[in-house]
């Protein structure tokens, strides 16, 4: 008997509750497939160091790198389940996720209130990223309707201070080896609008309007393909050799853009820039589809033929160092080579399809989301598949379950149910 999506959603949630949460309810970024528990350092080769060495070990990095994102995404999945089913267990678990985010927020006060740290080894660090803040603020915003009075007050405080932290720095902060990085400005417009919503502070609204007038959201912000279509783009030697543009990890690009655009379109639909937001959402959906594999997973790397605009995988077993990583990301392990491996992170694309459908009512978006959700169960939540497509030093990636994978699955499914996209 075929498992219904509803039953699968409940199974994934119970599996996550058993394996993916630390003592505070923070969602691990990865767990091991063999033990279904958090990473330990004996899992890694002795010479493997995390990006943030020496402040943490490889296991500490893998356990907590995206924990704020994953915890917030899980919280949203639980909240949408409560919206649909009114099950008090879902709200109780979402409330625990709120307290997990609050714990990370309070830990950040060691630097400054509003700073959301990366908590490698469940400890404070001075590393962060704006995508962690994006997810946390979206979760707090949706939680607000169900929060009690004290939770409302503190959630409002968190939201206002998180975006305030970035605004007063001119959106500059360190990022690993970059000491004073300017983060993508278009990522902050939705967060400024949210800050204004909860504070009424005209400074947020003025800054929101200023960034819009700069055109920071006129085109898709995170697109992997759009920069390559511009006349001044110089293809990498790898792309010239294959007569194709190389696109990497589309899931992160489409999911961040769609989250921001969805919030803007829902909360400021009469804005003169809304037509651009909607066009960008359509473009990002078309880009996301390029990475979807027939089996419902996603390809980590995709080649898009320069003549036909059709996607294809890199050749099986083909590994090659590329001369210049995308967006400077060649410094990251794994970004300096090409693979055609698959990943469960198609759940990001499914969730983005559900969000986009809110504004387009497109049966293809719904069908694509349902296909991904139908294809991936608990055991399919692998960070990467296809070990033969990875360099030996990176094959450990195929022995990891993904916190981002399962949390976005639940977010996609339960929001879809809340919007009557799925009947089961």
Q: What does the pLDDT read at residue 172?
A: 97
Residue partners of 72: CB distance under 8 A and separation at least 6: 97, 101, 135, 136, 138, 139
pLDDT, greater one: 248 or 79? 79
Q: Say which residue the tokens 């990865």 belong to.
A: 30
Summarised one tens digit per residue, pLDDT across range 376-394 is 999 999 999 999 888 777 7
Q: What does the pLDDT read at residue 46?
A: 77
**pLDDT class of 321 with cuts at 50, 70, 90:** low
Summarised one tens digit per residue, pLDDT across range 191-230 is 999 999 999 999 999 999 999 999 999 999 999 999 999 9
C-alpha distances (whole Å) from 13 to each of 124, 409, 413 are: 28, 10, 12
| Nearest-angstrom CA–CA distance, 374 and 376 | 6
**pLDDT class of 328 with cuts at 50, 70, 90:** very low
| Nearest-angstrom CA–CA distance, 254 and 221 | 9
Q: What does the pLDDT read at residue 51?
A: 66
Cβ(267)–Cβ(189) under 8 Å? no
Q: Which of 116, 110, 165, 168 lies closest to 139 in space, CA to CA?
A: 116
Summarised one tens digit per residue, pLDDT across range 1-21 is 578 999 999 999 999 999 999
Residue 304's φ and ψ, nearest 5 degrees, are -110, 115
Summarised one tens digit per residue, pLDDT across range 283-308 is 999 999 999 999 999 999 899 999 99
Q: What does the pLDDT read at residue 423?
A: 84
CA dihedral of residues 80, 406, 158, 193 (deg, nearest 10): -70
Res 322 pLDDT > 70: no
Query: pLDDT averaged over the chain?
Result: 93
Residue 312's φ and ψ, nearest 5 degrees, are -155, 160
Q: What does the pLDDT read at residue 181?
A: 95
The pTM of this model reads: 0.95
Q: Which of 114, 160, 15 lies closest to 74 in space, CA to CA?
A: 15
Q: What does the pLDDT read at residue 137?
A: 98
Among the residue ranges 60-64, 284-288, 306-310, 318-322, the one predicted with the least confidence is 318-322
Residue partners of 153: CB distance under 8 A and separation at least 6: none
**pLDDT class of 325 with cuts at 50, 70, 90:** very low
State the average pLDDT over residues 33-47: 91
27 beta partners: 21
| Nearest-angstrom CA–CA distance, 128 and 137 | 14
Summarised one tens digit per residue, pLDDT across range 234-244 is 998 888 988 99
- The angle, 0 to 180 degrees and rounded to 10, between the axes of the packed helices 346-360 and 250-267 is 30
Summarised one tens digit per residue, pLDDT across range 129-154 is 999 999 999 999 999 999 999 999 99
Res 314 pLDDT > 90: no
**pLDDT class of 320 with cuts at 50, 70, 90:** low
Cβ(417)–Cβ(373) under 8 Å? no
Q: What does the pLDDT read at residue 393?
A: 75
Helix (H, G, I), strand (E, B) or coil at 210: helix
| Nearest-angstrom CA–CA distance, 417 and 408 | 14
Res 331 pLDDT > 50: no
Cβ(256)–Cβ(189) under 8 Å? no
| Nearest-angstrom CA–CA distance, 81 and 410 | 9
Segment holding 298, helix H or strand E? strand 298-299
Question: DSSP secondary-structure letter at 266?
Answer: H
Segment holding 58, helix H or strand E? helix 58-64
Q: What is the 3-state secondary structure (H, E, C) of 365-410?
A: HHHHHHHHHHHCCHHHCECCCCHHHCCHHHHHHHHEEEHHHHHHHH
Q: Which of 178-187, 297-306, 364-373 has the highest mean pLDDT?
A: 364-373
Q: How many CB atoms lie within 10 A of CB 169?
A: 13
Res 317 pLDDT > 60: no
Q: What does the pLDDT read at residue 395?
A: 84
The C-alpha angle with vertex 8 and arms to 3 and 13, in degrees rounded to 5, equals 160
Q: Can you count the helices (H) and strands (E) in the chain?
A: 15, 9
| Nearest-angstrom CA–CA distance, 94 and 76 | 8
- Bin 86: left if φ > 0, else alpha if -120 < ψ < 50, else beta: left
246 beta partners: 303
């Amino acid at each position: 008997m075929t498992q219904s999506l509803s039953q699968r959603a409940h199974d994934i949630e119970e599996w996550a509750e058993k394996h993916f949460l630390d003592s505070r309810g923070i969602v691990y970024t990865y767990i091991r497939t063999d033990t279904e528990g958090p990473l330990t350092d004996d899992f890694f080769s002795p010479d493997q160091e995390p990006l943030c060495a020496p402040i943490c070990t490889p296991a500490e990095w893998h356990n907590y790198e995206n924990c704020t994102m994953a915890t917030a995404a899980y919280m949203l999945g639980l909240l949408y389940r409560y919206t649909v089913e009114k099950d008090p267990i879902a709200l109780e678990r979402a409330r625990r996720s709120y307290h997990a985010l609050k714990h990370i927020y309070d830990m950040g006060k060691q630097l400054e209130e509003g700073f959301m740290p990366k908590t490698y080894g469940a400890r404070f660090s001075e590393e962060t990223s704006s995508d962690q803040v994006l997810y946390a603020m979206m979760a707090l915003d949706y939680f607000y309707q169900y929060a009690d009075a004290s939770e409302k007050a503190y959630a409002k405080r968190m939201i206002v201070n998180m975006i305030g932290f970035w605004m007063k720095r001119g959106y500059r902060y360190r990022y690993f080896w970059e000491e004073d990085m300017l983060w993508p400005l278009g990522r902050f417009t939705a967060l400024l609008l949210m800050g204004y919503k909860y504070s009424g502070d005209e400074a947020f609204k003025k800054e929101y309007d200023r960034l819009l007038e700069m055109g920071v959201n006129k085109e898709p912000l995170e697109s992997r393909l759009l920069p390559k279509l511009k006349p001044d783009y110089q293809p990498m030697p790898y792309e010239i050799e294959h007569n194709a543009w190389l696109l990497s990890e589309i899931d992160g690009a489409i999911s961040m853009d769609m989250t921001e655009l969805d919030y803007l379109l829902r909360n400021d639909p009469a804005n003169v820039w809304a037509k651009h937001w909607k066009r960008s959402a359509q473009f990002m959906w078309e880009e996301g589809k390029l990475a979807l594999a027939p089996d419902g997973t996603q390809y980590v790397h995709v080649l898009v033929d320069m003549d036909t605009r059709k996607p294809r995988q890199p050749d099986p077993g083909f590994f090659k160092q590329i001369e210049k990583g995308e967006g400077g990301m060649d410094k990251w392990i794994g970004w300096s080579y090409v693979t055609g491996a698959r990943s469960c992170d198609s759940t990001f694309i499914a969730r983005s399809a559900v969000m986009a459908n809110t504004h387009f009512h497109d049966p293809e978006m719904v069908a694509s989301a349902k296909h991904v959700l139908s294809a991936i169960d608990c055991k399919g939540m692998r960070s990467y598949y296809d070990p033969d497509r990875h360099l030996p030093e990176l094959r450990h990636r195929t022995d990891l379950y993904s916190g981002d994978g399962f949390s976005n699955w639940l977010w996609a499914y339960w929001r879809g149910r809340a919007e009557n996209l799925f009947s089961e």
